[in-house]
Structure 1
Amino acid sequence: MTTQHIGKAVENVETYMRTRTGPEPDVCATAVVEDGLKCRIQSPDGRFVYTDMPEEVGGTATCNSPGWLMRAAIASCDATLLAMRAARCGIDLDSIAVRVDAMSDGRGMFLDEGISPGSSEMRVSFDIRAKNAPREEIQELVDWVIAHAPVGKDISQAVDISYSLKTE
């Protein structure tokens, strides 16, 4: 897909979004434990990904962990949105790489000692190459992505989560 094609598609979506009035349900993800700690996460249209846990906690380490998948979601969301925004602005980028790493304390997942089971911090770094775009223009793209990337916003704004239980 060319930069021009992506830019036009984003322009069309922007026009459509101006007719919207509020939030709508996103596509549901359903995780099913298949074997030990290996999960198949499926969308309603049949696409899926897998997760597993390291051998040290009883998994088989055949797939990435859910925590890694969350970091991957941030990285791919930011990279994709950056490519879309650059195309929309008519900026040709040679390469985009987004790296997300985090700090966490595994004791929080296994011990009742008041230690948070989640990440205590995440770092996102952008590596963008463009022969024909100055650094300031690239920085504007990155700033826009930081303000608009939905996956990162869900995490940084601590989106409300409600839980329910079905046993039948």
Structure 2
Amino acid sequence: MEITTERLVIRRFRGEDAAAFAAYRSEPEVARYQGWDAPYPIEQARAAVEAFANGDPARPGWFQYAVDLRGELIGDIGIRLHDNLMQADLGFTLAPAYQGKGYAAEAVAALLDHLFTTQRLHRVSAECDARNAASARLLKRLGFQQEGLRPAYTWAKGEWTDDLLFGLLAEYR
């Protein structure tokens, strides 16, 4: 499955994506609010990309999509499909050079359209570190409603962090 937008292709990962994947995930500002640490080793990237390439987006669990700009990997979007196949959790990461240019919004909006229209999901949820203002703004811009705040909920990188919870129902998008 590929989704094409005006500027991007949302596609499966390929083996040749590993170096670019490791590069942007090794950026401290990219890793800051994520579950991995920088630097992101190339061996780990190769294993992750291979797993992503062999995943099945129609099965419960995480599936990672590559965000491609004119043949260059610039980020990824993860979807965790629930066991009921009617709802999913969303996460996204973009290389620093491509942030603030509308690429994340374009990619996530296209994938949401696919999830709600083709896969007929009822709901997509997302959460982010409360300090990650850019991600929170993006989610709100795409129609997500902030549904909650969990104070000091996640232990990450040596500190307790607050989590913002977001949701988007098919009928409200």
With normalisation by structure 2, the TM-score equals: 0.28
* Structure showing the higher helix proportion among its residues: 1
Which has the larger strand fraction?
2
* TM-score normalised by length of structure 1: 0.29
